[in-house]
Chains A and B, each alone.
Chain A
Amino acid sequence: MRRIIITACLLAVALHAAPAGAASAAAVTVQDPYLELHSGPGRGFPVTQVVDRGASVELLRQRTDWIKVRTGRDHEGWVNRRQLERTLTGDGEQVRLAGPTAEARTGHRWEASVGAGDFNGADVVTVAASYALNDSLYVRADVSQLFGEFSNGWLAAAGIGHIFMPQWRVSPFVGIGAGWVYVEPTATLVEAPSRSNQAAYAGAGLRGYFNNRFLLQAEYRQYLIFMDTNDNEVINAWTVGFTHFF
């Protein structure tokens, strides 16, 4: 824990030094009737300056959908990405700025998710990453921490999934996979052995796009835990969470 924090400290120090050097400005020319410069990176900040068509502005930095620009008169302000993309042309082309598009919903490859839920009565926290092989087929790996009444544990699994109708705002999906579950008894109980078993799952769920940057997801899975004894254990689990795609 202490080592993680020290590493984070060093990272933060390194990062503090970075922004000064990263001020490589790009000059672009305003094509729209005018640009509105807000005092901060948000729609609620007041408009303090207006830049006319034909003027040149420097693009300094971008935060979410807002780009900080400097005008020829050395005024600085934040402009919405949508207004800049409509406004500027470079070499007869629209300026491309980092950010989400409607096409990214089906065109993206990577997803990262965080979720929480229930694992046969135990609480569960899950992080997952998935990679899309095409619009509807993906591979996914997840790691979960389990918090039961009498035991805690970890679950790691990898699998493959299929999204029906990925172009819909809310689309159903199914998945299967296999993994490994490790369970240890909680400290307040008498000594019981910890155990690790292989597991397989089949699941289904719903995912819905919240906006062009992330989606909300609910999933039900049935796990089959392969026990050392004759009877295998069936476990019902559900999670809800949010997923960022990029």
Chain B
Amino acid sequence: MDRRLHALLLSAAVAAGNLAAPGAARAQDPVGATPGTPQVVEPRVARREVKAPAIDTENFEGGLFVGTISIEDFGSSLLYGARIAYHFTEDVFAEATLGSAKAGNTSYEDLSGSAQLLTDSERQYTYYDLALGWNALPGESFFGSRRAMPSAVYFTLGAGSTRFGGDDHFTVTLGSGYRLLVNDWLAGHLDVRNQMFDSDLLGKDKLTQNLQFSIGLTAFF
């Protein structure tokens, strides 16, 4: 009796093992699964049909600016130009600027009446500048109680060339600006720059400081 019971329990256990174990083993190793075998363990992760996103990356910023520049010894003039920037990170960007202005007269030229130190084409003040910028104060600007726009105060340090008085001058530019994002892709700028270069136009070699103030519009793309 005992022996028969043992045999029965043993065969039941083997049968149960045959039913349960291969399923469990095959669930972990689907390569060995034979077709038609019921899958005991369902994978919990549901597969989702998602296409790879093709979204716009907008790290470039380009636009135009207009303002006024005080060319040392030559008065203040209208300044206009274009700029393009590439944003490496949310903090750091590179910027290339082209600008142009027409210098006025020195006080000496105005007082003497007729003496002209520079020809008309030599009065053309054009420059390019390659700069690295840092968004030092990123944040939001609030207009009333319902509107907040992303903005940043940034500093730039650049090097480039200024053509003035018939000569190219190595120019170091220090700048600071305020960028206000009107919407996702359009930004307004307020900029102050100081362009420094050595000049011997008035006889003596000296470092000239040429301050400029400009407003601009840029688009991110």
Contact = CB atoms under 8 A, between A and B. Distances in A.
A214 interface: yes
Interface residues of B, number: 58
Contact of B160 (A5, A68, A95, A125): A125
Given A4-B98, A125-B159, A96 B52 contact: yes
Nearest to A184: B168
A65 interface: yes
Contacts of B64: 5, 8-9, 12
Nearest to A43: B90
Contacts of B29: none
Interface residues of A, number: 64
Contacts, number: 164
A89 B50 contact: yes
Point out which of B45, B167, B186 has the most chain A C-beta atoms below 10 A from its C-beta: B167
Interface stretch (A13-21, A164-172, A227-235): A13-21
B52 A41 contact: no
A98 B126 contact: no
Contacts of B169: 147
21 contacts: A4-B82, A4-B98, A8-B62, A9-B64, A12-B219, A15-B219, A24-B54, A26-B55, A39-B150, A42-B90, A45-B150, A64-B59, A64-B90, A90-B51, A90-B53, A95-B50, A96-B52, A97-B53, A98-B57, A145-B161, A188-B166
Interface of B: 45, 47-59, 62-64, 80-82, 84, 86-90, 92, 94, 98, 100, 124, 126, 130, 132, 135, 138-140, 148, 150, 159-161, 165-170, 181, 184-186, 200-201, 219-221
Interface of A: 1-2, 4-5, 8-9, 11-12, 15-16, 18-19, 22-29, 39-45, 59-68, 88-92, 95-98, 114, 116, 122-125, 127, 145, 147, 152, 186-188, 211, 213-214, 242, 244
